[in-house]
Amino acid sequence: MEFRGKLILAPLAGVTDATFRRLCRENGADIVVTEMVSAKGLLCDPARTGRYLAYDEAERPVGAQLFGSDPGEIAKAAEEIARRGFDFVDINMGCPVRKVTGGGSGAAILANPRLAGEIARAAVGAAGIPVTAKIRSGFGAERETYLDVSGEIFEAGAAAVTLHPRHRGQMFSGSADWSHIAALKKAFPGRVIIGNGDIRTPGDAARMLAETGCDSVMLGRAAMGNPWIFAAVKTGTGPATTPDARRALILRHGEEMFLRHGPPGMREMRKHLAWYSRGIPGSAAFRSELPEVSDPASFRAVVERFF
């Protein structure tokens, strides 16, 4: 699988489900990946965890992201990901949330580069599909381990490393330090480095590529309510959509969520509608109407009124 020269949709828990990923693929994203799923959960309760692993053929190439800290569990879970037909498996080594780091997973792995390597090696040995890892700069500001961690991961046979250059303690505050992406590319010039963090506009994507020399860029928050951003990055232009196209996509998003999930899918759409409305005059008043959205009729009425 080629990871160079790609525009990648970041894994976003609660956002990047199969429907949203496909809308992003159709609008210019080259590669998509599921939100993180627990390796342990997948092994112990595959029916429940498996709900997060639904995907459509039209999404390909599509990866699944795993979190965990036990190389044996990661190996078995990576094998299961391959069995389900995913094109690659990504290992989460960056999630800063205590529920994840408390169990030694996510960003906690950054404190132990050797463990990062063992986890990657276990996945590579078992999966039979490409393995990638998504990391932060380090667990804390005092110890930025991304170079050592990436060295171990590449040594283990991983196909690419994505760096979101904040350390764990920053959560999402401050700004991403792109100089870390440049340093990582400089340290591993022959390896695939994917840059991530704070790309908000098409210009930001071009600037990250130029300033850091990274091979591909991944963006997350900028795609929330704006799946067109990928096309805009590719053409280097401003808004890549018209009001009619926007309304049509939003209606389709809702219809597919209803087909897939029934009424709970409509409630899920409330947050997407809030994101879609960002920057449009009257959006604050529009957001106050969102609790009304509970079935296809109320969804359509609200969308047609505002968009």
Ligand X SMILES: Cc1cc2nc3c(=O)[nH]c(=O)nc-3n(C[C@H](O)[C@H](O)[C@H](O)COP(=O)(O)O)c2cc1C
Residues that are catalytic: 95
Residues that bind ligand X (CB under 6 A): 10-13, 15, 35-36, 65, 92, 94-95, 134, 164, 196-199, 219-222
- In total, the chain counts a number of residues equal to 307
- Identify which of residues 22 and 164 has a Cβ nearer to ligand X in the complex: 164
In the complex, the smallest distance separating the C-beta of residue 21 from ligand X, rounded to whole angstroms, is 13
- Identify which of residues 33 and 302 has a Cβ nearer to ligand X in the complex: 33
The rounded distance, in Å, linking the Cα atoms of 208 and 99 is: 31
In the complex, the smallest distance separating the C-beta of residue 281 from ligand X, rounded to whole angstroms, is 25
- Give 98's contacts (C-beta < 8 A, 6+ positions apart): none
- Identify which of residues 215 and 306 has a Cβ nearer to ligand X in the complex: 215
In the complex, the smallest distance separating the C-beta of residue 263 from ligand X, rounded to whole angstroms, is 23
In the complex, the smallest distance separating the C-beta of residue 65 from ligand X, rounded to whole angstroms, is 6
The rounded distance, in Å, linking the Cα atoms of 235 and 221 is: 20
In the complex, the smallest distance separating the C-beta of residue 220 from ligand X, rounded to whole angstroms, is 3
- Identify which of residues 261 and 271 has a Cβ nearer to ligand X in the complex: 271
In the complex, the smallest distance separating the C-beta of residue 134 from ligand X, rounded to whole angstroms, is 5
54, 90, 215, 248 from 63: Cα distances, Å: 11, 7, 18, 27
The rounded distance, in Å, linking the Cα atoms of 137 and 144 is: 5
Residue number with the smallest Cβ distance to ligand X: 220
The rounded distance, in Å, linking the Cα atoms of 108 and 88 is: 23
- Identify which of residues 13 and 43 has a Cβ nearer to ligand X in the complex: 13
- Identify which of residues 62 and 302 has a Cβ nearer to ligand X in the complex: 62
